[in-house]
Amino acid sequence: MGRSIALRTAVFTLVVPGTVAGVVPALLVRGAPSLPPAEGWPFARLVLGLPLVLAGLLLYAWCVWAFGRLGRGTPAPIDPPRVLVSRGPYAWSRNPMYVGVLAVILGQAALFASPRLLAYAAAVFLGFHLFTVLYEEPAHRRRFGAAFDEYCRRVPRWIPRGG
């Protein structure tokens, strides 16, 4: 990945996913009630929440690498990949970057036992879905044509197929 792409990606990551998965969740849990404690609950929160946060961060990083290295672009809609990326995590889901961001939010919801963050994750997913269906997929069809249509036939939008 070139230095210019890396810099543009870092700025985008700090501003957009950093806000969606970092700043907003921090504001939502500040002073908010959490679920009542139960025996063993702190350990369960760590066992569920921490792996989700870490997996989400790693998945996002892998997607960013794929966009920069394979697609020669960034995650920013105004600076998208120039080549259709269908390898790496994009071989299993058309939107793994969004899945990674959602995993970070869901992991925080578990860590903080926060119903607010769970509701926020649902709202973020709805926003991602609408953005994907109404903007990204039509833009990809215009940019990549039949190759994107074939990719859509092979790879599910959100949840990877088994086997």
Residue 74 belongs to what domain range?
A: 3-29+43-154
Q: Is residue 98 part of a domain?
A: yes
Q: Is the pLDDT of residue 32 over 80?
A: no
Residue 160 domain-assigned?
no
For residues 69 and 99, what is the distance between their CA atoms, to the nearest angstrom?
20
The pLDDT score that the predictor gives to residue 77 is: 86
**pLDDT in the model for residue 33:** 67
**What total number of domains does the chain contain?**
1
pLDDT band at 34 (very low <50, low <70, confident <90, very high): low
- Residue that wins the pLDDT comparison between 25 and 7: 25
Q: Identify whether 37 is part of a domain.
A: no
What's the pTM?
0.91
